A and B are shown apart, each in its own frame.
Chain A
């Protein structure tokens, strides 16, 4: 390689400022200017000039070749969720671009900053049904925060700067830039300027003191205040602020699925996890509190159940950066349209120190009931096959709740969310809103690369792993030290659970005949082990964690296990079933 490694990164990009370079080079330089050093992608005809330009920057810029474009975007999501920085992925036109769509939709609904760059056919061929031409700008429009097609190389720096600004500011989300091949090959004078504002876009609402005072006065009067928080707290980096807020007035706090890891799980004010398979107390107490304080969450139907019977007795305060979320599902009494960090800081100043010991005790009573009826049997069974919960419990204890946990979708996801103690920041990576099977394995790759030295464990079902199992190839090629735990019940477990409960046990197309996962791992030179016996579990998990490098463990779990508690669809949170 002619480009010497001793040239520092800024110098290396600075030497191109004001010089004539190709659009493809400009794409790479613009990414470097945005601080990107990791991208996930897959080459193809219409993006080849970019891959060619990449060849000269291998020392400053690491490209991970995935095995399917969906893997690239999920990896970018995992990267973003752990690091807080936008994840970046590259794909070619046509099928390359359409394969990104599921991940883009996932990033949109889970507010994940992702920048997708797709190659496109030569501009004169647009609309001619050329080879691998697809209208990806049209297709991705409903699932992107912003998208744009570049047909002129000189637009590249400005559009990429704008893309990053949009992806990470305000409520984050995915953006897509489609770049025609002629724009990649033509030359122009390169100059880069960061985007600092877009006049039609106000990412940071100006906090209104009146709203804060109104909220504070409701909270100060409350006998049974209750905090429900979501991922907004993590995105705003407001974990400390949330804790101070809750502590000052001693308010119990519960997390949504994506809020997990925003609040210390062993804190006396933490009462658990909300939603369809959430904890008993957090769900039923929603309908008993007098002031419900929602922070950075969006009242998803999996959290609220039947809206007409949700928190009707309570005054609702909603702290939310996205105005469209306010009054969308739940009517608020006071809304604070602001960044969660700012709002919580301001609110904490205005609330009075308080105690709600009796109210908190009510949650503890619920915990006892749940523990006796469900948790104890799940986490510490004495006989029968291995249960998912005990695997998660063991992992949680072995890692002391400090690993980054990546889950897929279904029973194993709900069980992990219930039983893993997420103690470390930004450690819960899962597909929440979209519920994308196949998410976990590639997202774990991105999560592992998002921050150095963090232990990443992907917990995946036997169905989900097979939706993106080819990414074992990526793990193998780059020796990415992720730990993969397949909880195998040879069923699409969550669908089977619904069939059992709501479709008269008519198990239509949910039973799976699975391959030998360990052999597959072996094919990729990934060390693996299958565990079928309870007495082997702890030791095997410990051995997996001690292994230096990627590892795949398959645990054969109880075949027809159900996840409880459960709020049946359309039911009220009060009518949560304990079994």
Chain B
């Protein structure tokens, strides 16, 4: 059997906002020894409904099986698997640099402008630069900033919105109707 290659997948999971769900979802990955590259949880536009966005590298087959297992969790309203071209997505990163590096030359300022980043705050000791974008853009800026003594760097998980026309509210109505079939 030929081996399927690992690819990056975005899982978008709609759930009730209940405690313990994060654990229930992540153990599905742990059990199959799939590493989670990034994870984000936040409330959606519908009160009481949360969205998990999880990025994994996996084969398509494995990813599909994991999504099916996630759908079985009682409080999961829906789980969707997307490849890169099926979602709009962003990440956000913060870089902390000594302020004196900024003032000593205009190289940093140029980097900030050319990469579409922005300066979040300038303090006496340090300056915070903020950049949103895709992972590789954020990491490329990090590499470029490294010579200027990056003291701390942090990057968020991915947030993603699918290109499908489905609306959360109408999806929830569908779910409600299906749950009454008996």
Q: How far is the CA of A328 from the CA of B178 in the complex (A)?
A: 24
**Also in contact, A200 and B181, with CB within 8 A (given A141-B27, A308-B1, A323-B71):** no
Q: Is the CB of A324 within 8 A of B23?
A: no
A305 to chain B, nearest CB (A): 16
**Interface flag for B179 (CB, 8 Å):** yes
Q: Is the CB of A206 within 8 A of B181?
A: yes
Q: How far is the CA of A388 from the CA of B77 in the complex (A)?
A: 50
Q: Which chain B residue shows the least CB distance to A322?
A: B72
**Interface flag for B47 (CB, 8 Å):** no
**Interface flag for A478 (CB, 8 Å):** no
A142, A200, A201, A202, most chain B CB atoms within 10 A:
A200
Q: Is the CB of B16 within 8 A of A142?
A: no
**Also in contact, A200 and B27, with CB within 8 A (given A206-B178, A308-B1, A324-B65):** no
A328 to chain B, nearest CB (A): 6
**Interface flag for B109 (CB, 8 Å):** no
Q: Is the CB of A198 within 8 A of B72?
A: no
Q: Is the CB of B31 within 8 A of A142?
A: yes
Q: How far is the CA of A138 from the CA of B23 in the complex (A)?
A: 8
Q: Is the CB of A324 within 8 A of B175?
A: no
Interface band, chain A: 20 to 34
| CB-CB contacts below 8 Å: A316-367 with B | 322-324, 327-328
**Interface flag for B170 (CB, 8 Å):** no
| CB-CB contacts below 8 Å: A186-226 with B | 196-204, 206
Q: Which chain A residue shows the least CB distance to B176?
A: A199
A324 to chain B, nearest CB (A): 4
**Also in contact, A328 and B179, with CB within 8 A (given A200-B16, A200-B76):** no
Q: How far is the CA of A206 from the CA of B182 in the complex (A)?
A: 9
Q: How far is the CA of A323 from the CA of B179 in the complex (A)?
A: 15
Q: How far is the CA of A196 from the CA of B176 in the complex (A)?
A: 12
A310 to chain B, nearest CB (A): 13
Q: How far is the CA of A200 from the CA of B174 in the complex (A)?
A: 10
B15 to chain A, nearest CB (A): 7
| CB-CB contacts below 8 Å: B23-50 with A | 23-24, 27, 31
Within 8 Å CB of B71, what residues of A?
323-324
Question: How many residue-residue contacts, CB under 8 A, span A and B?
Answer: 57
Within 8 Å CB of B179, what residues of A?
197-202
Contact with A along B162-182 (1 / 0, CB 8 A): 000000000010011011111
Q: How far is the CA of A8 from the CA of B117 in the complex (A)?
A: 74
Q: How far is the CA of A146 from the CA of B18 in the complex (A)?
A: 12
Determine which of A146, A206, A308 lies in contact with B74 in the assembled complex, contact meaning CB atoms within 8 Å.
A146
**Interface flag for B134 (CB, 8 Å):** no
**Interface flag for B69 (CB, 8 Å):** yes
Q: How far is the CA of A146 from the CA of B24 in the complex (A)?
A: 9
Q: How far is the CA of A427 from the CA of B175 in the complex (A)?
A: 37
**Also in contact, A166 and B31, with CB within 8 A (given A141-B24, A202-B181):** no
| CB-CB contacts below 8 Å: B52-85 with A | 64-65, 68-69, 71-72, 74-77
Q: How far is the CA of A146 from the CA of B20 in the complex (A)?
A: 11
B175 to chain A, nearest CB (A): 5
Q: How far is the CA of A116 from the CA of B166 in the complex (A)?
A: 39
Within 8 Å CB of A203, what residues of B?
182
B170 to chain A, nearest CB (A): 13
**Interface flag for A374 (CB, 8 Å):** no
**Interface flag for A145 (CB, 8 Å):** yes
Q: Is the CB of A323 within 8 A of B68?
A: yes
Q: How far is the CA of A142 from the CA of B75 in the complex (A)?
A: 15
**Also in contact, A202 and B27, with CB within 8 A (given A141-B20, A308-B1, A324-B72):** no
Within 8 Å CB of B75, what residues of A?
200
**Interface flag for A137 (CB, 8 Å):** yes
A122 to chain B, nearest CB (A): 19
B169 to chain A, nearest CB (A): 13
Contact with A along B8-24 (1 / 0, CB 8 A): 00000001100010011
Q: How far is the CA of A198 from the CA of B18 in the complex (A)?
A: 14
Determine which of B20, B27, B77, B178 lies in contact with A142 in the assembled complex, contact meaning CB atoms within 8 Å.
B27
Within 8 Å CB of A322, what residues of B?
72
Q: Which chain B residue shows the least CB distance to A175?
A: B74
Within 8 Å CB of A197, what residues of B?
176, 179-180, 182
B36 to chain A, nearest CB (A): 16
Can you list 18 A-B contacts (CB < 8 A)?
Answer: A141-B20, A141-B27, A166-B74, A196-B180, A197-B176, A197-B182, A199-B77, A200-B15, A200-B75, A202-B175, A202-B179, A202-B181, A206-B178, A308-B1, A322-B72, A323-B68, A324-B71, A328-B68
Can you add 14 more A-B contacts, CB < 8 Å, to A196-B180, A201-B74, A323-B71? A141-B20, A146-B74, A197-B179, A198-B179, A199-B77, A199-B179, A200-B15, A200-B175, A202-B178, A202-B181, A204-B182, A206-B178, A328-B65, A328-B68
- B positions within 8 Å CB-CB of A: 1, 15-16, 20, 23-24, 27, 31, 64-65, 68-69, 71-72, 74-77, 172, 175-176, 178-182
